[in-house]
Amino acid sequence: MPDNNMTRRKFLATGIGVISGAIALGVGGAAITAVVAPAVTNKREDKWVEAGNADDLVQGQFNKINIAYDAKDAWMEGKIKLLAYVKPDGDNLFALSATCSHLGCNVKFDEQSGKFKCPCHTGVYDATGKNISGPPPKPLSHLEAKIEDGKLFINTGIKEA
């Protein structure tokens, strides 16, 4: 005859283990989503970030600009890194996020073809950021940029094309 107390204890221990695992997966899933979501969905808070000296920008060309800033989203805090391309044309600045609209890889500007190319799944964008071939479903996101006191500032919020 089975020991009912032992069976019940085993059942409870297994149940608690399963529930703990499910909670861990749920919490982990939420954390992973919070980390991955900004890259995939391209959502970022509106924030002006200093991004170098204006004198370093080459006129008429896409300048690759790395930005890093502190961000807080619900209970998560951390450093966000963002790659942007900024093209000065006289006093005007044209800025694009380098984040591919497909799965969030960073695109590279190809001087020879004058197009942005994504190394992950061969997505291609024209020089305005419009998606022209491959899997990207949308254009590259436009960013606001400005120069103040000799410094380049980029707004990390997305301005859809």
Burial class from Cβ neighbours inside 10 Å (0-12, 13-18, 19+) for residue 120 reads middle
Q: Is 40 in the site for ligand FES (CB under 6 A)?
A: no
Q: Is 135 in the site for ligand FES (CB under 6 A)?
A: yes
Count other C-beta atoms under 10 Å from residue 31's C-beta.
Answer: 12
Task: Between 40 and 147, name the residue whose CB sits nearer to ligand FES.
Answer: 40
Q: Can you read off the two tokens belonging to residue 103?
A: 């799965």
Q: How near is the Cβ of 125 to ligand FES at its closest, in Å?
A: 9
Residues 67-126 that bind ligand FES (CB under 6 A): 100, 102-103, 105, 118, 120-121, 123
Helix ranges (H only) for 42-137 are none
Dist. CA 152–CA 140, nearest whole Å = 20
Q: How near is the Cβ of 120 to ligand FES at its closest, in Å?
A: 4
Site residues (CB under 6 A) for ligand FES?
100, 102-103, 105, 118, 120-121, 123, 134-136
